[in-house]
Amino acid sequence: MALALVERATLTHRVRLLVAATIIYNVVEAVVALSAGAAASSSALIGFGLDSIIEVSSAAAVAWQFSARDHAVREAREHTALRVIALSFFGLATFVTIDAVRALTGAQEASHSTVGIALAAISLAVMPFLSYAQRRTGRQLGSASAVADSKQTLLCTYLSAVLLLGLLANSLLGWSWADPIAALVIAAVAVREGINAWQGNDCCPPTTALAFENEAGAAQPSCSCCS
């Protein structure tokens, strides 16, 4: 059964609020990371700031999709939004890979950055909750683009952890290699998520509809975007 119009409108409004919060946070995050990265000559921080800019483009694509008041128009825009999100993932992977290779080849040595450590810690605390809210709402609404954007936010959580560990390891232990190695793993994950978004696999039907169908004895369909 399709979602009730009132419930769909509520979820759509929630998506818009989450997208706005994502954009605002990532703009601030990008400014702080790029400034701190330039001051400390930290390629990891600069890469993190560039990642924030890419996340803004992903969130903006979802914002554009859900700016339409008509549900049919939003569904028609989903494919384009998914393509933009996929390109954002690929761009993120490219920037992170370049940053990691530069760090591994010793292109430059970063100095200690208190601001960078604080930023990474704050993002590590905030992003999981934001990603969960995006993913839950996307699943309830049956929106593949909203779920894909939540994965972009979740990837930022991983990058925050990598950045924090890398900055701490560099500051406390002198392990300059730990950050770029972990970053390459994150880049591989980003490529995988980008491919999934580019393929545009249909998302699960809204969870409310699934619950109704399950009560009637229907089998729940399998899907990848909402898993």
pLDDT, tens digit only, all 227 positions of the chain: 554 666 777 787 788 888 888 889 989 999 999 998 888 877 778 778 877 887 787 778 777 777 767 767 767 777 777 788 788 878 878 887 887 888 788 766 667 889 999 999 999 999 899 889 888 888 887 877 778 778 878 888 888 888 888 888 888 887 777 777 777 877 887 788 788 778 765 455 555 444 434 444 444 444 444 45
The pLDDT value given to residue 192: 82
pLDDT in tens, 80-113: 777 887 888 788 788 878 878 887 887 666 678 8
Report CA Rg, the chain. 19
**Residue 205: what are its φ and ψ, rounded to 5°?**
-60, 160
* Residue of 54, 56, 49, 48 whose CA lies nearest to 21: 56
CB 82 within 8 A of CB 200: yes
The pLDDT value given to residue 213: 40
Q: Is the CATH code 3.90.1150.10 the one for domain 5-210?
A: no
Domain ranges (residues) in the chain: 5-210
The pLDDT value given to residue 46: 79
The pLDDT value given to residue 54: 77
The pLDDT value given to residue 85: 76
The pLDDT value given to residue 65: 73
Residue 35 CA to residue 116 CA, distance in Å, equals 9
